[in-house]
A and B are shown apart, each in its own frame.
Chain A
């Protein structure tokens, strides 16, 4: 099992309103009670002096029983010996499939956050450097849906039996709340610039075998349109074959960059990280006759009009991202 989280919030819970759906979900959750949470787990390190010392340093615990030649480990380290650490336990030596499945079920229902609420430990014998730790754990109970200050969720209680060199050394009962945060904030707020040092990055164009020539052109500040070498039809966006005759043969022509707004929308909602609504998205008909979609800039979004003349502009949107956008030709917004 994971040595999950620490603290927040009240654990005083209230019963939710019941419903057939909730009841069915709870029945499914209850099937996990009594199933293993961890099977034949093995501590990554035997009980050892350096880990004991690091623990005592962190806790400010100067108890002489935890140092010297006859040192025992602080009993409250019990769970620490079973932790997977940064990389988790290898293979099956940790959380069971049942525990993962239960978490998956709760995640799927939106209860994605975890917080530890209770820890009850009983110490049966002292742990000494060299003791090899093994453990098994069982899912004791899964609660009905509860609403706490943190949010709504289910309490999951596990009981772990810890052995040292095969002898019972302690029990560790652990309760977590798997919950949907009550006050989770949207990642971006509308009509505001992203805060913090690092503004969110714009999504990158998907560049593949079929359209890489177009993006290579953009790098050179050229707006390239495909031309069928069999029937001479121009096409955009880039495709492997001709819409007209089906020929796979093509070359390119560089568009003049002149065009008109064929249609447009103004984006207000929902806001999306890295975008700052409102902004206009135009379907621009190029002078060569093909149409392409990009932002219409250089004019307030609510002043974009069908038929408005525009010209391509290669805009450095981010350090490593240039995009072709269309700037309204001055005087055209009247």
Chain B
């Protein structure tokens, strides 16, 4: 099935470690225009039964997209991103995104992504990405965000 040189089904993408800081949660919520109080106001989040603020789904979606394009190189284009949320991303936790190539069809690859944090699987999903020939090898090295400050 694989028509893409150097990419095999079952191949694992290098993990990306995301420190879940308060700053990331709030910056992601505001950048995605999501002003739900549970994503920025600890007191109100607690009143709603949550132990703290937590990451919104749009930020998770953005991080999953970034993870896949970081892995495949910046000529890769996202076609589909489908995610399901589980354990919330609370401040102080760390989420590690991992991906596995599930299918390769022509220039298109389907990647299964899991982001696990300290309490479980925060996100499971599938990303369909279109790759251009010659830009296919998975890079080595550290994809992690620089350390954020947890206010």
Binding site for B on A (CB under 8 A): 2-11, 51, 54-55, 57-61, 63-65, 74-77, 79-80, 83-86, 113, 116-123, 126, 181, 183-185, 187
Contacts and interface: CB of A to CB of B under 8 A. Distances in A.
Nearest to A198: B43
Given A60-B145, A60-B146, A85 B33 contact: yes
**Residue of B61, B89, B122 with most chain A CB atoms under a 10 A cut-off:** B61
Interface stretch (B6-14, B34-42, B106-114, B133-141): B34-42
Interface of B: 18, 24, 27-28, 30-36, 38-39, 47-50, 54-66, 69-70, 74-75, 77-89, 122, 145-146
- Give the 7 A-B CB pairs with smallest separation, nearest first: A83-B33, A76-B65, A6-B56, A58-B27, A120-B82, A7-B88, A58-B31
B64 to A, nearest CB: 7
Contacts of B30: 54, 58
Given A58-B27, A113-B48, A119-B83, A76 B61 contact: yes
Contacts of B74: 63-65
**Residue of B30, B81, B85 with most chain A CB atoms under a 10 A cut-off:** B85
A226 B20 CA distance: 64
A322 B62 CA distance: 54
Given A11-B84, A183-B49, 20 more contacts: A3-B34, A6-B54, A7-B89, A8-B50, A8-B87, A9-B87, A54-B30, A55-B62, A60-B18, A61-B70, A75-B81, A76-B81, A85-B35, A116-B56, A116-B57, A118-B84, A121-B61, A121-B80, A121-B81, A187-B47
Given A5-B38, A6-B55, A55 B86 contact: no
A74 to B, nearest CB: 6
B145 to A, nearest CB: 4
B85 A6 contact: yes
A308 B31 CA distance: 65
Q: Per DSSP, are chain B's interface residues mostly helix, strand or loop, or mixed?
A: mixed
A243 to B, nearest CB: 45
Contacts of B39: 5-6
A59 B34 contact: no
A185 B49 contact: yes
A65 B129 CA distance: 15
A297 B70 CA distance: 69
B30 to A, nearest CB: 8
A206 B14 CA distance: 65
B122 A119 contact: no
22 contacts: A3-B33, A3-B56, A3-B58, A6-B36, A6-B56, A6-B60, A7-B60, A7-B86, A7-B89, A9-B87, A57-B31, A58-B28, A58-B30, A58-B62, A59-B28, A60-B145, A74-B62, A76-B61, A80-B58, A83-B32, A86-B35, A119-B58
Contacts of B18: 60
B126 to A, nearest CB: 9
A181 B49 contact: yes
A122 B122 CA distance: 21
Nearest to B47: A187
